[in-house]
Structure 1
Amino acid sequence: MQINGSTALVTGANRGLGKAFAEALVARGATTVYATARRPESIEIPGVVPLRLDITDPASIEAAAAEVGELGILVNNAGISTDAPLLGPDVENVRKEFDTNFWGTLNVTRAFAPRLAGGAILNVISALSWYAFAPASNGYAASKAAMWSLTNGVRLELADQKTQVTALALAIADTDMMAGFDIPKLPPHEVVAQALDGLEAGQLEVVADKPTANVKASLSRDPALFYADIPGSLFA
């Protein structure tokens, strides 16, 4: 997949990884970069086309799809974490996480997939797609696990139209979502550079950091061994 000369759309582009994606796509020569957010006036990125898109609102998705013409790259970056446990007082926040991370991603993909023949989709998943770390993040983890499965399924369903579908998996980037954690974090532009390099190289999965690589490597082991050593196993 070649970025230079392509048209791209990034969800959740007003901050964090989404902003870094939009900036990097412009720098790599994308002819048009649609930077989307619920409030497009919050987007301050030179060279992009701000566009309103609330991925939890079908009418907003339909309106954005009508606004965008041809498309070569879709970056499904928008996501939320509410720190919701699965067995808390209610499931409202878990439902919100699934509405955004799973259903929002799926509905945006469904809206734009027909025009992505020969193009690419990049989905931002998480190391938490593959493990659970703390009760407070289990709703988010479950939604990201569903998003990983979604990514694999969409890849198969779009194979005939030659749409590349790539997952970006990471644990710790220096974004608002991770602001409360006093641990080493990758700068967003470094994560995005890895992701776009992988996209252009045709990789189906980009693992951005060592904790995520360790988690993925653990999947073939007895889970009792892995969970007995969290968090040490992540950074070993």
Structure 2
Amino acid sequence: MPGCFINYRTGDGEHVATLIDRELKQRFGSGEVFRASRSIDAGQDYVRALDAAVRRCEVLVAIIGPAWLDSPHRSGGDGRALDDPDDWTRREIATALSLGTPVIPILFDGAARLRPADLPEDMRGLARCQNRRLHHRSAESDLADIIEAVEVAAPRLGDMGEDESSEGDSGQSSGGGVANTMRDVSGGTVAQSREFHGVNGISGRTGDMVFGNSGPVNTGTGPQYNGSTVHNGTGDQIGVQRVHGSRNGGESR
């Protein structure tokens, strides 16, 4: 089951829920983030799906906008939606709080910090949960803070984030980083990529390109030559315009 559950109210925060869902998916993977409108398939029992996801998640992110507290019943009834024990936004948060699951309120568009007296009894713990804010003028740094808060609240997800960062440092990340497989190259400029086609006569899949080096460089298998002439072993000099041979040494998956 997903490690992070995104709680939001229809009519007050769907766009923020979608944004945070996207950021968390990029960080932890789609399977680790639950957002009802995306994660529940057609024909699936949504009551069971919601209940199972919120009970098994490791952290719940509650999206709270200016209209969240006083949002009316969707059915048009009197009073606030939060005062209805069957309101799904309330049920999800109350369930997480009762289980001791960390809940992170995300206040956006200047939403005021919650007060216990404004909440139903089974939700009052939400007012004591440390929040994070999201503002359009500081969205990039705010989203980074939200991701960090999720990692801290859910250590397993935090470990996943650290693993991804480590892979990124070594060039092994699944997001397209290229591993540094160059060895003993001095001088010049080194560029690595998945493929180079039609560059200085080199075609096919390659891993490493070296520009301006002062001597022969071999990062794969097979003969590779650097310079305008080489000896072919019989005393003849052959002009070289292309590099031939396998270039397996730098291919990244």
The bucket for the TM-score relative to the shorter chain is: 0.3 to 0.5
Q: Which has the higher contact order (CA 8 A, sep 6+)?
A: 1
What TM-score does the superposition give when structure 2 sets the normalisation length?
Answer: 0.38
Structure index of larger Rg:
2
What TM-score does the superposition give when structure 1 sets the normalisation length?
Answer: 0.40
